[in-house]
Structure formats: structure tokens, C-alpha cells
Amino acid sequence: MTVSHILAVLSSSDLVIDVEIIEMNVEPKTQSLRAKATLKKGYVLYVNEGIGENYRRYSYHLQKDDEMIRRWDNAPHWRDFRTFPFHLHIPDKDKPIECGEVFVNDVLLGIRDIVTEEKQ
């Protein structure tokens, strides 16, 4: 996984209208990306990825009208989760739910279900 791969996947998705790179660093052993993807039907996906040798930190934050819809991340909290550190934040839940590690393709698949189920 590289930041150029993430950008290519976002740019080729039919859900994505525009991708704005907020910050990108590519060095021999580490890469990082902060980006904002404008999606159909008013959704916005904020992407944060840090990738290194034996290291990956990510957050994919989906929102609409300044309200969080979903956030997939691997921040090292919720240690009691079977899927630690991977989890999914959903509005109106007291705490996140367990989920496996996700990549940009997985997130777009989940977003597709959310966006296509919404009536406009």
C-alpha cells in the first residue's frame, strides 16, 4: 500500500467527485497522506494514512453536513476489542464497534452502500 495507490483508487471511484491533497509526504521508508475526497450526494471522506516499515496508522472519516456518518481507524485505544486496534465509529453509539483492518477499497465499498441507499 502506497499513498499513490490510495490516490489512484479514490480518483478512479465513481463515488468521488474531487480529491484534494491536504498534505502528502513520500520518503524512502515512510509515507503519509491527508486528503479530502468530495463524494456524491454531499458526502465528504477525510483520509489520513501513515505508512512505514511494519507500521500503519489510518483514519477514514465519512461525514455529511458536518455530521459524522462513519469513521474507521486504528488508534490504539479500545484494548478490550477482539479486533484491537481496528474499530469503527458510528453515530449514536456509546463506543465504537469491532471491525477488521480496512483499506481504501474496503471503505469505498462501505460508503457505496451508504450513498446508494440514500434517497435524494
- pLDDT by residue for the chain (120 residues), tens only, comes to 899 999 999 999 999 999 999 999 999 999 999 999 999 999 999 999 999 999 999 999 999 999 999 999 999 888 899 999 999 999 988 889 999 999 999 999 999 989 888 765
52: phi > 0 → left, psi -120 to 50 → alpha, else beta; which?
Answer: beta
Question: Which pTM was predicted?
Answer: 0.93
Q: Is 110 helix (H, G, I), strand (E, B) or coil?
A: helix
Residues 4, 87: Cα–Cα separation, whole Å: 25
Going by the DSSP 8-state scheme, the letter that residue 69 receives in this structure is: E
